[in-house]
Amino acid sequence: GAVVSQHPSWVICKSGTSVKIECRSLDFQATTMFWYRQFPKQSLMLMATSNEGSKATYEQGVEKDKFLINHASLTLSTLTVTSAHPEDSSFYICSARVLAGESTGELFFGEGSRLTVL
Amino acid sequence: RKEVEQDPGPFNVPEGATVAFNCTYSNSASQSFFWYRQDCRKEPKLLMSVYSSGNEDGRFTAQLNRASQYISLLIRDSKLSDSATYLCVTLTDSWGKLQFGAGTQVVVTP
């Protein structure tokens, strides 16, 4: 099946620094990618929908200036957590589907990136 | 109110036993329903879709009740490898925005 690769898997950073997480679709082109955040024992929460060649669509309550999303190509979307603080520590997961608008539920997920902000 | 609600568990199940749990959803416009499995500190993976008439995939049976807005998952002959968190997921539009429940933890014991 389709593969989505996410990097880095783990990152520890100091408060105030910025962290970039990459999400790549390895064997297909993804016009749309999704970024989720998951706190311990909680559900995945959609942060934003990343659209290739256009601005991302952010969910209510997600600061677009803090979580910068760039989807410059059909195989790469990046999430940059700017000026990270300890409360941003979480598990960030990207996902993609093969065809935009496809009405199926199988999203292919990246392996996730665990961010710890000290 | 959360859009998708699940009993967090854990459901402690002896190996070989049957376990079942439900998930309720609040959005009557939800179009599609799925069960995902998530192992600790890993990404979710699709277990099965849930069809209106109910469907079975090996030891797993899923049911959908649109009138009462819930779906269920039943696992027969539980294996140790079934230990995981099972996420109930709904899809309300064709562009892929999924709503996830917080998950039901299942622990299968020898």
pLDDT(A115) > 80: yes
A100 touching B (Cβ < 8 Å): yes
List chain B residues with CB under 8 Å of A34.
96-98
Peptide bond preceding B10 in cis form (omega within 30 of 0): yes
**Distance separating alpha carbons of residues A115 and B74, to the nearest angstrom:** 34
Instruction: Report the pLDDT value the prediction gives residue A103, as an integer from 0 to 100.
Output: 47
Instruction: Report the pLDDT value the prediction gives residue B99, as an integer from 0 to 100.
Output: 86
How far away is chain B from the Cα of A14, in angstroms, using its nearest Cα? 22
* A47-69 pLDDT per residue, tens: 999 888 888 999 999 999 999 99
In which band, very low, low, confident or very high, does the pLDDT at A36 lie, cut at 50, 70 and 90? very high
A/B interface, count of CB pairs below 8 Å: 63
Instruction: Report the pLDDT value the prediction gives residue A89, as an integer from 0 to 100.
Output: 95
* B4-59 pLDDT per residue, tens: 999 999 999 999 999 999 999 998 888 889 999 999 888 888 899 898 889 999 99
Instruction: Report the pLDDT value the prediction gives residue A40, as an integer from 0 to 100.
Output: 83
A43 touching B (Cβ < 8 Å): yes
φ, ψ dihedrals at A59, nearest 5°? -75, 160
**Distance separating alpha carbons of residues A33 and A54, to the nearest angstrom:** 12
pLDDT(B104) > 80: yes
Give me the count of residues in chain B: 110
List chain B residues with CB under 8 Å of A109.
43-45
**Distance separating alpha carbons of residues B19 and B77, to the nearest angstrom:** 9
**Distance separating alpha carbons of residues B78 and A99, to the nearest angstrom:** 35
Dump the DSSP string for B72-106: EEEE-S--GGG-EEEEEEEE-STT--EEE---EEE
Nearest by CB to B97, from A42, A46, A109: name it.
Answer: A46
R_g over Cα of chain A: 13
Tell me the average pLDDT of chain A. 88
The sheet carrying A4-7 orders its strands as: A4-7, A19-25, A76-81, A67-73
Written as six digits, the tokens of A25 are 């679709």
In which band, very low, low, confident or very high, does the pLDDT at A98 lie, cut at 50, 70 and 90? low
